[in-house]
């Protein structure tokens, strides 16, 4: 091929490529240019119509089109979606009129008022937190439907599956509406039957006792445990797991839990399918510690499981908790204790070998402590009870002690401490949530004895005055034989330090004219101060000054009474030590408390004596599974005259709450002629008690108790000469140091209008001159 021909071919190829590129470029540019029959339209201005509350600038801010740009239907669509998504508008239309973009809006109304009608089982306070709409909030139908569903869910959790909710909208001027939720609650949807599949060891009746959900029965008119609640059913599954795990079935599984509503919508049929698995016994148990100074020998005594016993997951968890607590007490706050199980078959038995691995965890510090729920109580009242502050190393023992101290204040129904992550890995935040309780109390007490005597007491107290933790109490007690008035005040943190300071005023008048022919009056005051020595040991000191008068003695009264006519003055100082290791100061289940007190009179005044008392109380679960708690209390006292006999007013008296089964002052020496209680110089009382639930729902707060009292009161050192001593001394009272004993049962109900206590007692050991009491009650109210 010659040179000319080759050049021609090359030129033709280059021209073809250039032509193709020009064609493609033209097509691309055509996408940005209007067609010849579609002239370019620009948005000259935007006009907003129909808006009443919402500013025009607000509407324009949500639009993607602006004046001066080319009109584009796609941008119009985006602007519509943006405006609708705000929830401010019920309808929006956008149109182009001679270069003017017209945005026509219909605003959603504002809610003026909300109300619930037809609700009886759930009050407005129960329903209001469930809805998101509020007065002065924009009304939208989607939010109304969402609130309706929330209310329906709340009713279903309360067992009312037949409830229906219809929202009604009342139109008002100025684009406002009233929103009313009309509620038809219907009848409660109960539990018709609870069945189990796969259970071999325990029958259905035994497993039903484990669950929180109960079958509906006509007599179960208290509580809501017999209504269907999906959350409670999930909790029931956990209860079943705990039950089987505590009985050695470590492989237990729940296959399915199904709740089917009956056709008449009156009850649910619950079916729970399970696989029990094998039952294991405990094998070898060991502790492996990676911390040099915390040896396995130090932690092994805390192991609650024993080889050969049925495996119990609850005891394993308790062992881990006890080891963690003990390590924290020894200064090792950052630990991770894990219980590892190893299953094996030994001599034909399925066993589990347990190894507790103790490793050092990461060191964590308290970044912040938040307090919630104290509406009335000041923050400082709570924070001064904390055993750790911001910046301290996190310590589980101190957290638990803080919870105990907050409970011990008596200001809160519930105390919850929660640990949440802080701003860094080595920081933690402690949230303290409290539920305040009524700390004011107005109580009315009454008692009846077999001798038809009656006693009425009225007391008013406030244990958290003005939310500062201060305590004030006033009481008036009246009856056929005595009247009493007292007033007391306590500042728990005097001068801002943990020193409790207080004062008491008292006045007492006793009328013995009918029985003994005299009146007795006592009046005085006491000052007291107390402070902690250690975390659990506390001491207090007190001074008492009082005047006692025996007046209006009848001329036929006994020589013993005439001998005591006149005025006596007591000036005494005393001290107390108390050691408290109870797990909860309000409702103890474990632990003990011991108190030792002494008072000496004779620093001035006319009375001289030394009085000593001691009390020890021990708590421990008898049958923890069924919440039966045991209590044993030892109470004893001795008063000794310093060179003189002890006056009647300074002696000990037993009966009433201190010795149930006997009326107040019903135990011990009595005047032979008047049959009046004379008290004694020495006493002891042993009280054994068991507290237990009586089958009523927990929310009723009704507890039963059975008790036994054993003790005596003796040694009234009073003798008078008969006929000038011609026949020697004659003791004008009956006394016996023989023990007395009573048994009985009682019920305590923390009712909405105050605590109610009812006791029935039977005396099984007594003297013929004692005065017993078979029934007593106490009722009060709080505010």
The mean pLDDT value for 117-142 works out to: 87
The backbone torsions φ and ψ at residue 347, rounded to the nearest 5 degrees and listed phi first, read 55, 40
626 burial level (CB within 10 Å; 0-12, 13-18, 19+): exposed
The mean pLDDT value for 348-361 works out to: 88
What stretches of 20-82 adopt beta strand conformation (E)? 45-49
Measured CA to CA, the distance from residue 42 to residue 69 in angstroms comes to 6
> pLDDT (tens digit, 9 = 90+) per residue, 398-445?
888 888 888 888 888 888 888 888 888 788 889 998 888 877 767 665
Q: What angle do CA 206, 211, 215 make, to 5 degrees?
A: 85
Residue 348 reports pLDDT greater than 80? yes
Q: Which residues pair with 482 in a beta bridge?
A: 510
Q: Chain-centre distance of CA 635, in angstroms?
A: 30
Of 48, 47, 50, 100, the closest CA to residue 71 belongs to: 100
Measured CA to CA, the distance from residue 391 to residue 367 in angstroms comes to 6
Residue 616 reports pLDDT greater than 80? yes
> pLDDT (tens digit, 9 = 90+) per residue, 206-261?
898 888 888 877 656 555 677 777 878 888 999 899 999 999 999 999 999 998 88
Residue 779 reports pLDDT greater than 70? no
Q: Is 100 helix (H, G, I), strand (E, B) or coil?
A: strand
The kind and range of the H/E element at 600 are strand 591-605
For residue 96, give Cα distances in angstroms to 42, 52, 402: 10, 22, 70
Please give the model's pTM, rounded to 2 decimal places.
0.56
The DSSP code sequence of 370-424 is EEES-SSS-HHHHHTT-S--TTSBP-HHHHHHHHHHHHHTS-EEEEEEEEEE-SS
Token digits of residue 335: 């630990």
Residue 173: CB atoms within 10 A of its CB come to 6
Report residue 38's pLDDT band, with 50, 70 and 90 as the boundaries: low
Give per-residue burial for 143-170: e unless 16+ CB within 10 Å, then b. Answer: bbeebbebbbebbbbbbbbbbebeeeee
| Average model confidence (pLDDT) across the chain | 81
Chain position carrying tokens 């109380």: 617
Report residue 635's pLDDT band, with 50, 70 and 90 as the boundaries: very high
Q: What angle do CA 774, 777, 780 make, to 5 degrees?
A: 170
For residue 183, give Cα distances in angstroms to 111, 276, 291: 19, 44, 63
Token digits of residue 113: 């008022």
**What is residue 769's DSSP assignment?**
T
Strands ordered across the beta sheet of 164-172:
110-117, 176-184, 164-172
Task: Give the contacts of 354 (CB within 8 A, at least 6 positions apart).
Answer: 282, 283, 284, 285, 286, 305, 316, 339, 340, 341, 342
What stretches of 452-565 adopt beta strand conformation (E)? 454-465, 470-479, 482-491, 500-511, 519-532, 537-551
pLDDT score at 452: 37
pLDDT score at 241: 92
pLDDT score at 721: 43
Of 450, 382, 549, the closest CA to residue 774 belongs to: 450
For residue 74, give Cα distances in angstroms to 64, 65, 85, 89, 741: 10, 10, 17, 21, 95
The kind and range of the H/E element at 435 are strand 427-436
> pLDDT (tens digit, 9 = 90+) per residue, 651-701?
888 888 889 888 877 888 877 766 667 778 999 999 999 999 887 766 677
Q: What angle do CA 603, 606, 612 make, to 5 degrees?
A: 60
Report residue 509's pLDDT band, with 50, 70 and 90 as the boundaries: confident
The mean pLDDT value for 759-772 works out to: 89
Cβ-contact 47, 18 below 8 angstroms: no
The mean pLDDT value for 323-332 works out to: 76
Report residue 293's pLDDT band, with 50, 70 and 90 as the boundaries: confident
Residue 334: CB atoms within 10 A of its CB come to 16
Measured CA to CA, the distance from residue 44 to residue 67 in angstroms comes to 5
Of the chain, the end-to-end C-alpha distance in Å amounts to 118
Of 690, 672, 667, the closest CA to residue 741 belongs to: 667
Cβ-contact 186, 160 below 8 angstroms: yes
The DSSP code sequence of 324-347 is HHHHHHTT--SEEEEEEEEEEEET
In terms of pLDDT, which residue wins out, 178 or 29? 178
Report residue 457's pLDDT band, with 50, 70 and 90 as the boundaries: low
28 burial level (CB within 10 Å; 0-12, 13-18, 19+): exposed
pLDDT score at 28: 37
209 burial level (CB within 10 Å; 0-12, 13-18, 19+): exposed
The mean pLDDT value for 622-628 works out to: 80
Token digits of residue 51: 């808006």
The mean pLDDT value for 76-87 works out to: 86
In terms of pLDDT, which residue wins out, 328 or 603? 603
Residue 331 reports pLDDT greater than 70? no
């Amino acid at each position: 091929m010659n040179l000319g021909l080759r050049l021609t071919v090359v030129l033709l190829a280059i021209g073809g490529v250039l032509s193709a590129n020009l064609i493609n470029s033209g097509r691309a540019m055509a996408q940005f240019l209007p067609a010849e029959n579609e002239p370019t339209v620009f948005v000259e201005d935007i006009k907003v119509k129909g808006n009443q509350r919402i500013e025009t600038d607000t509407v324009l801010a949500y639009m993607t089109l602006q004046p001066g740009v080319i009109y584009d239907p796609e941008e119009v669509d985006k602007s519509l979606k943006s405006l609708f998504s705000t929830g401010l508008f019920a309808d929006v239309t956008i149109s182009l009129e001679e270069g003017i973009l017209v945005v026509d809006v219909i605003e959603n109304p504002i809610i003026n008022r909300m109300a619930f009608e037809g609700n009886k089982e759930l009050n407005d306070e129960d329903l209001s937190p469930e809805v998101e709409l509020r007065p002065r909030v924009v009304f939208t139908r989607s939010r109304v439907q969402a609130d309706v569903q929330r209310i329906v869910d709340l009713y279903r959790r309360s067992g009312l599956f037949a409830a229906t909710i219809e929202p009604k909208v009342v139109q008002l001027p100025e684009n406002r509406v009233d929103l009313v939720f009309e509620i038809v609650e219907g009848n409660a949807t109960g539990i018709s039957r609870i069945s189990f599949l796969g259970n071999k060891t325990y029958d259905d009746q035994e497993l039903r006792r484990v669950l929180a959900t109960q079958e509906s029965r006509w007599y179960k008119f208290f509580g809501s445990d017999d209504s269907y609640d999906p959350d409670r059913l999930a909790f029931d599954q956990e209860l079943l797991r705990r039950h089987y795990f505590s009985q050695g079935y470590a492989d237990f599984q729940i296959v399915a839990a199904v709740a089917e509503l009956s056709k008449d919508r009156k009850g649910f049929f619950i079916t729970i399918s399970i696989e029990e698995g094998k039952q294991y016994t405990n094998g070898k148990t060991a502790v492996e510690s990676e911390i040099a100074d915390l040896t396995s020998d130090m932690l092994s005594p805390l192991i609650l499981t024993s080889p050969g016993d049925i495996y119990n997951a609850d005891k394993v968890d308790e062992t881990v908790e006890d080891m963690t607590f003990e390590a924290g007490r020894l200064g090792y706050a950052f630990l991770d204790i894990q219980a590892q199980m190893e299953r094996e078959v030994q001599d034909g038995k399925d066993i589990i070998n347990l190894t507790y691995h103790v490793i050092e965890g990461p060191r964590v510090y308290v970044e912040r402590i938040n307090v919630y729920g104290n509406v009335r109580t000041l923050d400082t009242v709570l924070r001064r009870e904390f055993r750790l502050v911001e910046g301290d190393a996190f310590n589980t023992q101190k957290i638990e002690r803080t919870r105990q101290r907050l409970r011990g204040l008596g200001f809160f129904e519930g105390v919850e401490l929660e640990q949440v992550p802080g701003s860094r890995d080595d920081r933690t935040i402690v949230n303290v949530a409290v539920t305040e309780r009524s700390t004011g109390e107005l109580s009315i007490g009454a008692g009846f004895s077999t001798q038809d005597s009656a006693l009425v007491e009225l007391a008013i107290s406030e244990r958290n005055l003005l939310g500062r933790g201060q305590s004030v109490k006033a009481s008036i007690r009246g009856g056929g034989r005595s009247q009493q008035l007292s007033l007391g005040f306590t500042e728990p943190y005097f001068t801002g330090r943990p020193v409790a300071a207080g004062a008491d005023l008292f006045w007492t008048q006793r009328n013995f004219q009918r029985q003994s022919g005299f009146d007795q009056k006592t009046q005085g005051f006491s000052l007291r101060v107390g402070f902690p020595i250690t975390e659990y040991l506390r001491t207090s000191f007190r001074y008492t000054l009082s005047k006692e008068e025996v007046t209006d003695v009848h001329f036929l009264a006994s020589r013993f009474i005439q001998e005591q006519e006149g005025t006596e003055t007591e000036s005494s100082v005393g001290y107390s030590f108390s050691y408290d290791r109870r797990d909860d100061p309000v409702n103890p289940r474990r632990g003990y408390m011991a108190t030792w007190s002494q008072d000496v009179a004779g620093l001035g005044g006319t009375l001289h004596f030394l009085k000593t008392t001691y009390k020890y109380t021990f708590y421990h679960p008898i049958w923890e599974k069924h919440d039966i708690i045991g209590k044993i209390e030892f109470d004893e006292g001795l008063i000794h005259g310093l060179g003189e006999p002890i006056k009647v007013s300074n002696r000990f008296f037993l009966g009433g709450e201190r010795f149930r089964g006997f009326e107040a002052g019903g135990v011990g020496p009595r005047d032979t002629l008047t049959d009046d209680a004379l008290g004694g110089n020495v006493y002891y009382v042993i009280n054994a008690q068991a507290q237990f639930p009586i089958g009523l729902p927990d929310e009723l707060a009704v507890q039963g108790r059975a008790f036994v009292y054993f003790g005596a009161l003796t040694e009234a050192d009073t003798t008078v000469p008969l006929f000038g001593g011609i026949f020697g001394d004659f003791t004008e009272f009956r006394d016996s140091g023989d023990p007395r004993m009573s048994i009985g049962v009682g019920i305590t109900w923390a009712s909405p209008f105050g605590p109610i206590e009812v006791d029935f007692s039977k005396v099984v050991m007594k003297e013929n001159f004692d005065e017993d009491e078979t029934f007593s009650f106490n009722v009060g109210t709080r505010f």
